[in-house]
Amino acid sequence: MADHDASAGTQATPAVDAPEQQDELQAARALAAQMEDRWRRTAAELDNFRKRTAREAGQQRDAERAFVTARWLPVVDNLELALEHASGEPDAIIDGVRAVRDQALAVLADLGYARFDDRGEMFDPQRHEAVGTVATAEAAPGTAVHVIRPRYGDGARMLRPATVVVAAEGQ
């Protein structure tokens, strides 16, 4: 009987712990539900953030495009004026076209992309694109002697490198 009493005592302990375990289980389920709710809310907030960021980036891109386009409108206006007066004196037309070109260069410089004249500069593959060489004694070898297309911008803000002809050793 002593063995039977000992086994009966072990059966009584789980019966006493059962309500405590039920409470712990309910608390764990409630915590899991709360964590799942937090996770879903955070996922929804992240999705909303991504959508808002994409929308704001698009709006900023559109605003920047409008700003740059507005800067070019006076240049277009002056080109139209030059065309209206094209039947006039040739020297005046040339002067007008030069003025419009200077205005366009000023717009580029204001936007951070100044024009550089690299004639006489040593060839630098970061800033120049060589399309040919010419033998000359008038310039040191490796020097840009003719600029076909000028460079706009500098360093990390370069729109394009200069297209140049480079001096080779002269004879």
CATH code assigned to 1-111: 3.90.20
63 contacts 34 by C-beta, under 8 angstroms: no
What residues does each domain of the chain span? 1-111, 114-171
Q: Tens-of-pLDDT digits for all 171 residues of the chain?
A: 445 554 444 544 444 468 889 999 999 999 999 999 999 999 999 999 999 999 999 999 999 999 998 999 999 888 888 878 777 778 878 888 889 999 999 999 998 899 999 999 999 999 999 999 999 989 999 999 999 999 999 888 899 999 999 999 866
Question: What pLDDT was estimated at residue 163?
Answer: 96
Q: For residue 156, what are its two tokens?
A: 């990390």
Question: What pLDDT was estimated at residue 79?
Answer: 86
Question: What pLDDT was estimated at residue 14?
Answer: 47
Q: Which CATH superfamily is domain 114-171 in?
A: Head domain of nucleotide exchange factor GrpE (2.30.22.10)
Question: What pLDDT was estimated at residue 15?
Answer: 46
How many residues would you count in the chain?
Answer: 171
Give one DSSP letter per residue of 58-80, joined into a string.
HHHHHHHHHHHHHHHHHHHHHHH
1-111 against 114-171: fold identical:
no
As a whole number of angstroms, the distance between CA 119 and CA 84 comes to 35
